[in-house]
Amino acid sequence: MVRAMSDSTFSAKDLACVRGGRVVFAGLGFSLATGGALVLLGPNGSGKSSLLRVLAGLLKPAHGLLAWDGRPIAEDPEAHAARTHYLGHHDAVKPVLSVAENLRFWAHLHDPHAERAGRAVDAALARFGLARLATIPGKMLSAGQKRRTNLARLLAAPSPLWLLDEPTTALDKASIRVLEDVLAEHRAGGGMVVLSTHADINMPGAAELHLDRFSVREELP
Amino acid sequence: MNRFLEVVRRDLRLALRQGSDSVMVVTFFVLTVVLFPFGIGPEVNVLERVSAGVLMVTALLASMLSLDRLFQADYEDGSLELLVLTPAPLGVVVAAKMLAHWLTTGLPLMIAAPVLAVLLHMHEDGFLTLLAAMALGTPVLSLVGGIGAALVLGARRGGVLLSLLILPLYVPVLIFGVGAIDAAVQGMSAKPHLLILSAMLAAALVLAPWASAAALRQALE
């Protein structure tokens, strides 16, 4: 899928996140340019998921600034939502809707142009090897097939910024390779990727962010 | 607007495929109303006297039965996060879900009400007013109830909490709904009561989706 995306930057400055009264990370910053990728690393509980939720706009940072092309994203949450795809722990696949219906709903919400979205859905299904399963209801899918349905959402409607929380969970080796190709194409087309992972994902030229370096050691008096 | 219809269509499709919710609500309504003649005896004038109150109270309880499912299923499978992150304002998405809720619960209740009114020997002058009161009142139930459903998301025993939270807010609908029917049966004008119900609906239409959206954002933090 070739699409023209103008040069943009996504940057974070001095971010801090507080969960349940505990400072998860503080003083975190990065800058992503067109075609860039950022891999979040760190042990369990180091705040990878929290950071992705902050970047998506689901969580408000306790401190710091997120900006797209220098403009704070809090100024226009809807514009940020339009340019972002977030993939969390849950696959958001409705058990009574077919794979294609599930995907078409999210594609239409993102891109109200029905015909274009329909074509993109078919292409996305084929890409993740789901074309044969398109009419199968969601409840019949295995964990890996659900994950692939969720991943197909990334291609079903174009968005420059992908925020992926452990996208390889439940995927087999062949699907991980498809995902690597899709990520590479997305970046070549001018997209950006931020992802957290415990598995190895082959992403040439991706920057790494070790979240444990931003943890705050509580000092007891 | 397209996105609004897309969400309505998806929720209706989900309700139709699962089928249980609207059937359950209407069955509860019918069975509970049928219990009253057994409980208070078959005297025509007693039944006629209580018919408006019984119908409105039971409709209100029936509509509440399905409320906790309004956001719960989407919350559990991760769809809610994605709905919050759609490029449309969250209030629009929430309003669409509330409309779908009314179409699958409030509307069937409205259709069942006149049949049950016959069973309770309601005076025939009250029938049109009953329909009007239900048409204005049940959307308020879905709208106001949606705020409660959003507030109790993630809470244990949300259903019980929801009734404690929402039932007091349903009292005005009950008072003016029953007042309208009683006025019509006694040969007076039902207009003032119906106008107040319309005012409640107008206020709820504007305020409820917005309040509910704020509660949903809080639940996802």
User: Domain map of chain B by residue range?
Assistant: 2-220
- Calculate helix-pair angle for B2-18, B20-40, nearest 10 degrees: 60
In sequence order, which ranges of chain B are alpha helices (DSSP H)?
A: 2-18, 20-40, 44-65, 69-76, 79-84, 90-101, 107-119, 127-151, 158-185, 191-220
Average pLDDT of the segment spanning B72-96: 91
Q: What's the rounded Cα separation, in Å, for the pair A170 and A172?
A: 7
Lowest mean pLDDT among A21-30, A112-121, A167-176, B27-36: A112-121
Phi, psi values for residue A63, rounded to 5°: -160, 155
Locate B71 and state its tokens.
Answer: 């956001």
Calculate the alpha carbon distances from A69 to A51, A73, B46, B133 in Å: 19, 9, 72, 53
Torsion angle, alpha carbons of B74, B80, B86, B91, to 10: 90
In this complex, the residue of A56, A92, A114 whose CB is nearest that of residue B77 is: A92
pLDDT band at A200 (very low <50, low <70, confident <90, very high): confident
| Residue A1: predicted pLDDT | 39
- Residue A74 — very low, low, confident or very high, per pLDDT cuts 50/70/90? confident
Q: How much of chain A exceeds pLDDT 90, in percent?
A: 51
B163-192 mean pLDDT: 93
pLDDT recorded at residue A5 = 53
- Which domains does chain A carry? 34-57+76-208 (3.40.50.300)
Q: Classify strands A37-41 and A207-210 as parallel, antiparallel or unpaired.
A: parallel
Q: How many helices (H) and strands (E) does chain A have?
A: 6, 9
Share of chain B above pLDDT 90, in %: 73
Whether the pLDDT of residue A136 is over 70: the answer is yes
**CA distances (Å), origin B51, targets A116, A188, B34:** 54, 69, 11
Q: Decide if B59 contacts B28 (C-beta within 8 A).
A: no
Assess whether pLDDT exceeds 70 at residue A221. no
Burial (Cβ within 10 Å: 0-12, 13-18, ≥19) of residue B167:
middle
Q: What is the pTM of this model?
A: 0.90
A57 → chain B, closest CA residue: B85
* Residue of higher predicted confidence among B134 and A113: B134
pLDDT at A110: 86
Q: Give chain A positions within 8 Å (CB) of B81.
A: 58, 86, 88, 90, 92
Residues of A in contact with B10 (CB under 8 A): 97, 105
Q: Which structure tokens are listed for B132?
A: 């009007």
Q: Which of A52, A145, A54 is nearest to A103 (CA)?
A: A145
What pLDDT sits at residue A148?
Answer: 93
What percentage of residues in chain A have a pLDDT greater than 70?
95
Place of tokens 């401190």: A63
Partner B contacted by A63 (CB < 8 A): no
Residue in B13, B84, B86 closest to A110 by CB: B86
pLDDT band with cut points at 50, 70 and 90 for residue A217 = low
